[in-house]
A and B are shown apart, each in its own frame.
Chain A
Amino acid sequence: MSDAVLEVEHVSKAFPGVKALDDVSFRVNRGEVIGLIGENGAGKSTLLKILNGVYQPDAGAVKVDGRPVRLLSPRQAFDSGIAMVFQEQSVLSTLTVAENIFLGREQEFLRWGLIDKRRMNAAAAVELKKVHLDIGPATPCARLTFAERQMVEIAKALSLDSRIASDITILLDEPTSVLESREVELLFSIIRDLKARASIVFISHRLEEVLAICDRIYVMRDGKVVAEVPAAEATVHALHTHMVGRQLHHEYYREQRQSPPGDEVILRADGLGKAGAFRDVSFELRAGEVLGIAGVIGSGREELARVLAGHAAPDAGALTVHGRPVRLAGASDAVANGIGLVPAERKVEGLVAQFSVAENMTLSALGRFASRGVIRFAAERAEAARWVERLHVRTPSTAAMTGGLSGGNQQKVVLAKWRIAGVEVLILDHPTRGIDVGAKEDVYELVRDITADGLAVILLGDTLDEVIGLSSRILVMRDGAVTATFDAPAGGKPEQVRILEHMV
């Protein structure tokens, strides 16, 4: 009987307009540590969601110990031996370590309907020993550091060991992104001695760590598994080339329309810093320029974007707009100084789903569309119509509910909002996330239109390729520090590989 613990066979999954997974197959044998790498948008997160029972595959099957299993919920996946350790923690801080480990599975410790805390803590202690976490099982998780919480989640996975028949596979999603090197060493030593108990799938951007810990590595790109490489023979460079595949042609990113930056500095940052997120970030942003920021989770670029948009306050450094120093106490200050944020979560911070297209577009400049206290609806409709036409927004009318539009069109409404508000600096936080491939090109076209109109753009690209393609200058960040700066003029774009070296 093959000792494959977990198999994914010809799994495909499509969403409207995008094929997230295209005939993916891979195997995890007992006691093996498998690496799974790939750029953002390569399909890794969709695959994990299928293994975790959040999504169901359109085709193909998932097998545990050779038997096909139907995974309809995270709990079903867990009970079948597939344990997920999330990027953004699923440990509940209001409960203790032991309670988190056995959440939803407390029957085992019931005596006359009451939880026998002593037995549960003892059982939890057994699991904690396996991960060398010398923390009392009764400690409330609110007091644990990120790394300690991660260990609790791994312990939770290991608690399946003696409790279910099938073997256990633990999926670690970006486990080391916010760990100190000492904590990474600890995690690796634990993974090594877990081999006897469970097999591991290690998903990470940190290629040298993947090489250091994994037995075999699958590389994914554009929803397909493009390579399966034994770790012994692999090098970081080889992995990079697999990950990158052909460089998308210049036309895709409208490179020819990349205008040289103007000479007037709109926004300057000097030694910007925020405890626990990033420090000593400096740059100048000129009109018509696209400043790309490359970095993986934990690099601090998301927190930087929030500070620049006024959503969070920096601890150190200064920001100047047109030479005037500014302090952004809130989003309203940023907008007043001409800085707008196109957020990663459109539906939460981007727009109001119940508002019409016109109402969303004028939200940031409502004052201009009212005279003597009453909204000038005609003027508002006209302005909205102008931008719907200019940005090719596919909507039945400017009165249509924004919630009903596709992701791409909603993004265009957000962009129109800031253009109407007359901002000079636009911060694009993963602007093409959750947008189908066709609409992505529209967004790239818009970025070019924006810079052509003299605005400056700060881009947190979804993929490295996108950052390179769109940006005129690229800041590379890792662990909260700017590790390199590259010029990326049209026709002189830097190699992805050279940026990756400073990024991961």
Chain B
Amino acid sequence: MARIDLQAWLPILVLAALVAVVSLYDPGFFTIANLLEITANTMTLFLMAAGLTFVIMIGSIDLSVQSVASMASCILAVFLPTLGLAAIPLALLGGVVAGALGALISTRLRIPTFIATLAISGVVLSAGFWISNAQSIAITAEARDAWLGWVTGAFLGVPNEIWVGLVALAGLSALLQLTPFGRLIRGVGAQEQAVIASGVRVERVKLWAFVISGFMAALAGVTMAGRLGSGSPTLANEFLLPAVAAVVVGGTAITGGVGSIWRTFVGALIIQVVRIGMTFMGVSVFVQQIIFGILLIAAVAATMDRSKILVVK
């Protein structure tokens, strides 16, 4: 396969360096318990970013993932008492519908996805408020243990969230590496006209990319609701930009074509280690945002594959 050059390993090196820096400062950071803890905390961000990876890999963007996650948490919380386990697929269906809507508006009305998904996020936010009647809805402890154990519990000493994340990582990576759909995602991102000219229905590929993005955003919302024990129309606030950052910092090009799910897994961990690391290192609260901004630009500059991009807009 393609020769492994530094470019491919960079995200992992960056993550290792960051963990080393924080651990140097505070050895307590580098314990199995803590590393598991941090990984578990990262999973909701990873689930949302994993879905977003497909969309960014075809050179598009999905700004509705944050509202979709919040809406999914509301659907779950509202229908869990009545429908029980069926509330989960219902919440995921909500994400699928939102994703499909974003894709159809973009392909049919030929509107850039930035604007189409920005508009959809408004519509989905309204839906979230309507479903939850504008308040956060608690999920009773029994309901949580009965149907959300796969989120809240642990297995073999590892928090279930990590298992959910690993399953998603494996599943989506297989989808990307092993299936025709995955290959077409890479193709559309690298050279869309050539894929169209080869007789492929590109609209369908884009539709599925956004459906996966919606599905994963909803899964992130359900996981979040499981962790916090409630759903709310603003549960996933401040999740959109970190999710996009996780994808790009992992090395997936914002302009499409290059990327993978494991890169996003590492990217999400990098974002989390940077944010939590700064708390660990007692970096003053006032400086954290400055460092986060600088590291974001540096990480993008480092992981970008410039060979392909002629004009960087």
Contacts and interface: CB of A to CB of B under 8 A. Distances in A.
* Touch between chains A and B, by CB atoms below 8 Å: yes
- Which of B191, B198, B257 counts the most chain A CB atoms within 10 A? B198
Given A373-B179, A374-B178, A375-B178, A348 B193 contact: yes
A484 B19 CA distance: 75
Interface stretch (A170-178, A231-239, A240-248, A351-359): A351-359
A349 B193 CA distance: 5
Interface in B174-199: 174, 178-180, 183-184, 186-187, 190-191, 193-199
A359 B195 CA distance: 11
Interface in B189-248: 190-191, 193-201
A435 interface: no
A143 B31 CA distance: 69
A74 interface: no
Contacts of A363: 183, 187, 194-195, 198, 200
A367 interface: yes
Contact of A375 (B179, B187, B201): B179
Contacts of A369: 180
Contacts, number: 81
B256 to A, nearest CB: 11
A348 B258 CA distance: 17
A376 to B, nearest CB: 10
Interface in A368-414: 369-370, 373-375, 399, 401
Q: Which of B174, B183, B199 has the most CB of A within 10 A?
A: B199
Interface residues of A, number: 34
A417 interface: yes
B201 A332 contact: yes
Interface stretch (A98-106, A276-284, A295-303, A335-343): A335-343
B308 A349 contact: no
B190 A366 contact: no
Contacts of B196: 330-331, 349
Contact of B197 (A331, A353, A373, A399): A331
B1 interface: yes
Interface residues of B, number: 24
B2 interface: yes
B198 A354 contact: no
Given A336-B199, A374-B178, A354 B193 contact: no
B180 A370 contact: yes
B186 A421 contact: no
A364 interface: yes
A334 interface: yes
A332 B202 CA distance: 9
B51 to A, nearest CB: 19
B179 A364 contact: no
Contacts of A19: none
A355 to B, nearest CB: 7
A119 to B, nearest CB: 34
A417 B197 contact: no
A343 B195 CA distance: 12
Given A366-B180, A399-B1, A355 B190 contact: yes
Query: What 6 pairs across the A-B complex have the smallest Cβ distances?
Result: A335-B199, A366-B180, A349-B197, A352-B191, A364-B198, A363-B198
Interface of B: 1-2, 174, 178-180, 183-184, 186-187, 190-191, 193-201, 257-258, 308
Given A354-B186, A366-B180, 8 more contacts: A332-B200, A335-B198, A352-B195, A355-B186, A363-B183, A363-B187, A374-B174, A417-B198
26 contacts: A309-B197, A330-B201, A331-B196, A332-B199, A332-B201, A336-B199, A343-B197, A352-B186, A352-B187, A352-B191, A352-B195, A353-B190, A353-B308, A354-B257, A354-B258, A359-B183, A363-B183, A363-B194, A369-B180, A370-B179, A373-B180, A374-B178, A375-B178, A399-B1, A417-B198, A421-B198
